[in-house]
């Protein structure tokens, strides 16, 4: 079934509640995510934001990667004068800075494409640096701290050698060397991934499946439309603990724009989630998105949500974690989150057990990874 997204009919699979007050700032920040937002609704949002003071614009929005998007929305609706001059100036300055950063990253992407194509290295640009090129009115409205690249595990050393030959310095964090490393040159940072999560999180080898179906758009290789949705729904579940402060709100806009502006094969998304054992993780991320975007609907078909939903008991358990924002409350106690939350994001107990054993095995072997011998360790290497 290939279908364009439609509005869900509210059958309870992602039931919402007016009691979700923990994320009020988040909801206000995401008012600009509504494709039907009007000048009147945005003006009311600005009035509601007043309770949080100027720091909402000068601190919260930048941390969420939304400064440029807000500056653009205010200009688009003729409301630039509705906020204080100092705040307006700060948003404008952030937009200029993020535009310069985008231009540097775009030039690096074009260089990397030529480099990898010449050396026969299969790659796909993933996450924000891919999404912004295809669905944002202006890609520079979506800042990215780095360029995320997915490569096949068997080509990681070749990719590192190619990038080092192009002048990039390699930094290897022992805690995550099982699936990623970082490279930097000047003001451009690259996160090189050879797995989408820690090895063992998925039932199958996902990387080669994704790279086999990659597509070329905007002069780069990126994921298939459905595969991009899959990654948007599973990566934040484990890497960002769904709703913790590590989860920037621009990822919510990424998802809503992608789901409404691309033609998504939702059956293909569900099938890959089932094959990897990560339906529950995707449902939980969608549950949080529904909380943030209420009362508006998610651009996801009802039948897709019903297909990936866990049982009622687990739904209530995971929803409680979100409603009480426990990932944020216990962010300094990661063991509580990992054992009380992320293990429950796997579809079956066997999947969770396999993930746990694989993670422990990878930690025992991480000291033997050859990348540790050729790269530097970043400061504050804990991940």
Q: CA–CA separation, 134 vs 42, rounded Å? A: 25
**pLDDT for position 367:** 67
pLDDT at 370: 83
- Supply the pLDDT for residue 296: 78
Position 164 scores a pLDDT of 96
Per DSSP, the three-state class of 215 is strand
Token duo for residue 216 = 């070329």
* Under 8 Å between Cβ of 113 and 220: yes
- Looking at residue 11, its pLDDT comes to 39
Our CA dihedral for 57, 63, 65, 70, rounded to 10 degrees, sits at -10
pTM exceeds 0.85, yes or no: yes
> CA distances (Å), 314 to each of 102, 237, 280, 317, 324, in order?
41, 15, 9, 5, 16
DSSP letters, 316-373, are HHHHHHHHTTHHHHTTT-HHHHHHHTGGGGSSSHHHHHHHHHHHHHHHHHGGG-GGGG
Closest CA to 238 of 165, 342, 117, 314: 342
Domains, the chain, in order of start with CATH, read: 117-373 (3.30.460.40)
Q: Give dist(CA 282, CA 328) in Å, integer.
A: 19
Q: How many helices (H) and strands (E) does the chain have?
A: 18, 7
Whole-number pLDDT of residue 5: 38
Helix H or strand E encompassing 47: helix 39-49
226 and 4 Cβ atoms separated by less than 8 Å: no
Provide the pLDDT for residue 295: 80
pLDDT for 166 equals 96
What are the tens digits of pLDDT across the range 77-104?
Answer: 999 999 999 999 999 999 999 999 999 9
The residue assigned the tokens 């009115």 is: 137
What is the predicted pLDDT for the residue at 8?
37
pLDDT at 15: 52
The predicted pLDDT at position 2 comes to 36
pLDDT value at residue 356: 87
Q: Which residues of the chain have pLDDT under 50?
A: 1-12, 16-20, 382-383
d(CA 371, CA 355): 23
């Amino acid at each position: 079934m290939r279908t364009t997204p439609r509005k869900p009919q509210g059958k309870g699979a992602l039931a919402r509640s007016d009691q979700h007050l923990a994320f009020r700032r988040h909801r206000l920040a995401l008012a600009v995510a509504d494709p039907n937002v009007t000048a009147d609704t945005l003006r009311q949002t600005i009035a509601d934001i007043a309770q949080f003071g100027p720091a909402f614009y000068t601190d919260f929005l930048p941390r969420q990667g939304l400064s440029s998007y807000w500056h653009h929305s205010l200009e688009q609706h003729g409301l630039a004068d509705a906020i204080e001059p100092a705040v307006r100036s700060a948003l404008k300055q952030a937009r200029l800075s993020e535009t310069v950063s985008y231009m540097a990253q775009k030039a690096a992407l074009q260089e990397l494409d030529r480099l990898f194509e010449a050396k026969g290295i299969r790659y796909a640009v993933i996450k924000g640096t891919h999404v912004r090129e295809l669905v944002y009115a202006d890609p520079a409205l979506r800042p990215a701290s780095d360029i995320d690249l997915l490569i096949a595990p068997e080509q990681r050393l070749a990719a590192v050698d190619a990038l080092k030959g192009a002048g990039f310095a390699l930094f290897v964090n022992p805690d995550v060397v099982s699936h990623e490393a970082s490279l930097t040159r000047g003001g451009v940072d690259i996160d090189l991934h050879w797995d989408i999560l820690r090895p063992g999180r998925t039932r199958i080898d996902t990387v080669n499946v994704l790279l086999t179906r990659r597509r070329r758009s905007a002069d780069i290789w990126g994921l298939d439309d459905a595969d991009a949705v899959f990654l948007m729904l599973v990566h934040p579940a484990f890497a960002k603990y769904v709703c913790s402060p590590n989860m920037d709100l621009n990822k919510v806009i990424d998802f809503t724009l992608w789901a409404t502006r691309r033609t998504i094969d939702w059956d293909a998304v569900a099938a890959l989630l089932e094959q990897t054992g990560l339906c529950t993780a995707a449902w939980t991320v969608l549950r949080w998105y529904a909380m943030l975007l209420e009362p508006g609907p998610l651009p996801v078909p009802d039948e897709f949500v019903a297909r990936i939903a866990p049982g009622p008991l687990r739904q209530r358990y995971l929803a409680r974690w979100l409603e009480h924002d426990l990932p944020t409350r216990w962010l300094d106690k990661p063991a509580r989150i990992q054992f009380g939350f992320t293990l429950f994001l796997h579809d079956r107990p066997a999947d969770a057990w396999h993930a746990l054993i694989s993670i422990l095995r990878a930690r025992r072997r991480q000291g033997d990874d050859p990348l540790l011998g050729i790269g530097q360790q970043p400061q504050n290497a804990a991940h």
